Amino acid sequence: MLNHYQSPWFKEALNAEGEISINQLTSKETSDVCIVGGGYTGLWTALKIKEKNPALKIIIIEKDLCGSGASGRNGGCMIPLSSKFPAMKTIVGTKDAIKMVKASEEALNKIKDFCELNNIDAQIRINGIVYAATNNKHRGGFDNLISELKENNINSWKKLSKEKVQNLTGSNRNIDGYFSPIGGSLQPALLVRGLKKIAEKKGITIFERSQMLSYKNKSKIIVKSTNGSVECKKLVVAINAWTPSFFNFLSRSVILVSSDMIISEPISSELEKLNLNNGLVVLDSNLFTHYYRSTIDGRIIFGKGGNTFSLNNKVIKSFDGPSSIENFLKKSLINFFPSLLNKKITQSWNGPSERTKTGFPFFGYHPKNKNIIYGFGYSGNGILPTFVGGEILSDMVLEEKNGWTKSNFCKGPIKLFPPEPFRWIGAVIIRNAVRRKEYAEQNELNPSWIDKQLAKLATSVGRVDRIKD
Ligand SMILES: Cc1cc2nc3c(=O)[nH]c(=O)nc-3n(C[C@H](O)[C@H](O)[C@H](O)COP(=O)(O)OP(=O)(O)OC[C@H]3O[C@@H](n4cnc5c(N)ncnc54)[C@H](O)[C@@H]3O)c2cc1C
């Protein structure tokens, strides 16, 4: 069924489905709403529209299988947007930033409730998140963030003692950290394939292996695929990493970079000893964080963002293959957990994540046609925010005039990257400077002045708004 390299999650989810029948677009269809892209964003948007206005005819078209993009291959770490609060506050304003933090936090239980209600077993475990410091330079990195969150009555983080952080995260490498109970993990592909099934049950038509090749944007909107088309009143483009190639006006809104991951063989008894068998999400404080968690079947996954940047923001072939830094990831895993030295890594993989200059997503309307709507830019943190994205995009489709549609999140990209080739060259120079800086910090050495200055240019794209540099 799979025609290319895929994550273990996706293979597991498809195997669980057994025989899959693929509905391809081979005719001229009409609908009220056509959604392009069958990942979390497209599927949540469709489900929300259906919930708000069941009479609307909705069609989703997906170029491969639903979930074959980031939604079926991510780390499964559910992380709200509270760590981006300072940047959001400065860029979109305090009111909208608070709304987004709260909505991304509420998404955690809403996704869990949705799955329970609809019998989707996405292996959800809500046991919190730890942001840890692995060197003295990273200590105290959340202190200012917590003050700002407290000032606005939205703080869920608390500082941990060294003993507590090591006990919770299973690694002596973590010397300081912060815990929030609002987070957890899941099997990402079981969620996206479950959403697909429920969407179909609710009357949403889904065409897979049906790529949008072009669209006509005159008096009518017509989406063209190889053997068919969809005429619609509203078009939602939810194609994530593929967006900058498709919409030229968004070509500078993100930078595509890989997120790379490895997974171990089952090691339940070791995880038990490390106190890690509960799905807690652990991240370090690097700009492109290391992150890890256990799985329900007793494996550990370990990942890191920020390796391969693609020229012209193209979804390049290597994004659909094993990780080119598999050995580096194995070494890093052993650094955190020396006791896992002889354990097998069964697979590595990677995928494109679209980092915005602000580090958080945006939504908007096509500059020449308000009936064409888009949303992306989750910056490597999309499981909870795509649920919020579905809410926002559905309101935009339904022309609701409310707190979301009037917010600054719905005004398209607020900050842009430079054009090519400066974007790619700059990204690689900055990535290398960040690597040298973080390597020096990890070894308790002073990074060079120039590396610190270059790294500062990238601070905003990270998951956390750290005040310390
Ligand atoms: C390796 C990796 C690890 C990650 N880890 C985490 C994590 O641990 N936690 C977290 O919160 N987030 C993580 N993320 C981010 C998260 O996975 C994404 O933000 C989220 O899945 C985005 O969902 P989406 O529906 O917008 O995009 P996608 O899931 O990428 O869906 C877009 C869909 O559009 C389809 N498509 C593209 N072009 C066309 C076309 N022309 N016609 C039709 N269909 C088209 C694609 O095939 C794809 O299925 C990770 C991302 C990656 C890549």
Do 8-73+189-253+363-410 and 83-186+259-356 have matching folds? no
Tokens of 254: 């993100």
- Give the Å distances, CA to CA, from 456 to 51, 421, 462: 44, 21, 11
- What is the rounded distance in angstroms from the CA atom of residue 24 to the CA atom of residue 1? 14
Ligand 1 binding site (Cβ under 6 Å of any ligand atom): 36-42, 61-64, 68-71, 73-77, 79, 211-212, 238-242, 259, 261, 350-353, 376, 378, 380-383, 386
Candidate from 353, 363, 393, 464 with most ligand 1 atoms within 8 A of CB, to mutate: 353
Candidate from 60, 71, 323 with most ligand 1 atoms within 8 A of CB, to mutate: 71
The yes-or-no verdict on residue 190 having pLDDT over 90 is yes
What's the half-sphere exposure (Cβ side, CA atoms, 13 Å) at 201? 9
Question: In terms of pTM, does the model score above 0.85?
Answer: yes
The yes-or-no verdict on residue 248 having pLDDT over 70 is yes
The yes-or-no verdict on residue 188 having pLDDT over 80 is yes
pLDDT digits (tens, 9 = 90+) for 355-383: 999 999 999 999 999 999 999 999 999 99
Section 278-303 average pLDDT: 96
pLDDT digits (tens, 9 = 90+) for 145-173: 999 999 999 999 999 999 999 999 999 99
CA geometry: angle at 197 spanning 363 and 353, to 5°?
Answer: 40
Per-domain residue ranges of the chain: 8-73+189-253+363-410, 83-186+259-356
pLDDT digits (tens, 9 = 90+) for 411-469: 999 999 999 999 999 999 999 999 999 899 999 999 999 999 998 888 776 666 654 44
Q: Which fold has domain 83-186+259-356?
A: D-Amino Acid Oxidase; Chain A, domain 2 (3.30.9)
Section 6-29 average pLDDT: 96
Q: Which fold has domain 8-73+189-253+363-410?
A: FAD/NAD(P)-binding domain (3.50.50)
Average pLDDT of the chain, as a whole number: 95
pLDDT at 288: 86
